[in-house]
């Protein structure tokens, strides 16, 4: 009985591979999927105007000290010829990898992936500041917090906002709706819908990290001079 139900769920669950190569659930969810989430973020570079409201909000909400940052918007350009010049903006923050080099090297268990949410976090109490995780992260998004002396990075505002049912601070602060946050396990979530219908990409996928920060690539750039 159990086996036939499992078989039914298996055949009923269609899987869709988006342009970024990520597989997202579509259709009825299996039992294990109903109890766990897999949070992801999309940065739509075509909507980003490089205003930095996201990184300012992140710093304020998460008490990130000056001199370090959990989130940076990188500006490239200008491209093109005057007066048709434009900039491109990309997001630099933790990618919440499915396969986590930072977690693998941590000797104390301070770096961990929360199985209930898929969010990669740091337990500051367990961190001894060895910096192995900083060296192992291919995206170079970790740092030692000068106040806590522990490794630090984006955690999708797990403790400061998600717990209260709020969106990450960056998502709420963005004036152009360039950021979409949600659960990849929920086929009806906005994040899944956007990924299914919009060409997107992720960085350094060749390393097998399976990042959950997706990007909608800018074409002509967004801010014209």
Give the interface with ligand SF4 as residue ranges (CB under 6 A): 48-54, 73, 89, 94-97, 100-102, 105-106, 108, 110-111, 120, 122, 127-133, 137, 139, 141-142, 151, 153, 173-174, 176, 178-179, 209
Nearest approach, Cβ of 68 to ligand SF4 (angstroms)?
14
The vertex-42 CA angle with 38 and 43, nearest 5°, equals: 150
What's the CA gap between 182 and 191, in Å, rounded? Answer: 5
Q: Of the two residues 187 and 202, which places its CB atom closer to ligand SF4 in the complex?
A: 202
CB nearer to ligand SF4: give 155 or 183.
155
State the nearest-atom distance from the C-beta of 138 to ligand SF4, in Å: 6
Query: What does the alpha-carbon distance between residue 68 and residue 134 come to, in Å, rounded to a whole number?
Result: 13
**Residue nearer to ligand SF4 on the CB measure, 153 or 161:** 153
CA-based angle 118:123:125, to the nearest 5?
170
CB closer to ligand SF4, 173 vs 184: 173
Angstrom CA distances, 66 to 70, 71, 93, 134, 156, stand at 11, 12, 16, 19, 19
Q: Give bridge partners of residue 176 from the DSSP assignment.
A: none
CB of 85 to ligand SF4, least distance (A): 18
């Amino acid at each position: 009985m159990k086996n036939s139900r499992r078989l039914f769920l298996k055949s009923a669950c269609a899987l869709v591979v988006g342009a970024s190569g990520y597989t997202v659930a579509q259709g009825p969810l299996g039992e294990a999927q109903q109890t766990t989430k897999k949070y992801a973020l999309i940065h739509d570079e075509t909507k980003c105007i490089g205003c930095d409201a996201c990184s300012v909000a992140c710093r304020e909400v998460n008490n990130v000290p000056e001199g370090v940052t959990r989130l940076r918007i990188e500006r490239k350009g200008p491209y093109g010829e005057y007066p048709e010049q434009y900039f491109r903006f990309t997001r630099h923050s933790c990618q919440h990898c499915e396969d986590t080099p930072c977690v693998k090297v941590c000797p104390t268990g301070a770096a961990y992936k929360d199985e209930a949410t898929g969010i990669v976090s740091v337990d500051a109490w367990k961190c001894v500041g060895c910096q192995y995780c900083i060296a192992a992260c291919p995206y170079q998004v970790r740092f030692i917090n000068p106040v806590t002396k522990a490794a630090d990075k984006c955690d999708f505002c797990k403790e400061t906002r998600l717990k209260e049912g709020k969106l990450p601070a960056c998502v709420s602060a963005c004036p152009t709706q360039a950021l979409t946050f949600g659960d990849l396990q929920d086929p009806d979530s906005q994040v899944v819908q956007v990924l299914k219908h919009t060409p997107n990409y992720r960085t350094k996928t060749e390393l097998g990290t399976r990042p959950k920060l997706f990007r909608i690539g800018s074409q002509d750039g967004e801010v014209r001079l």
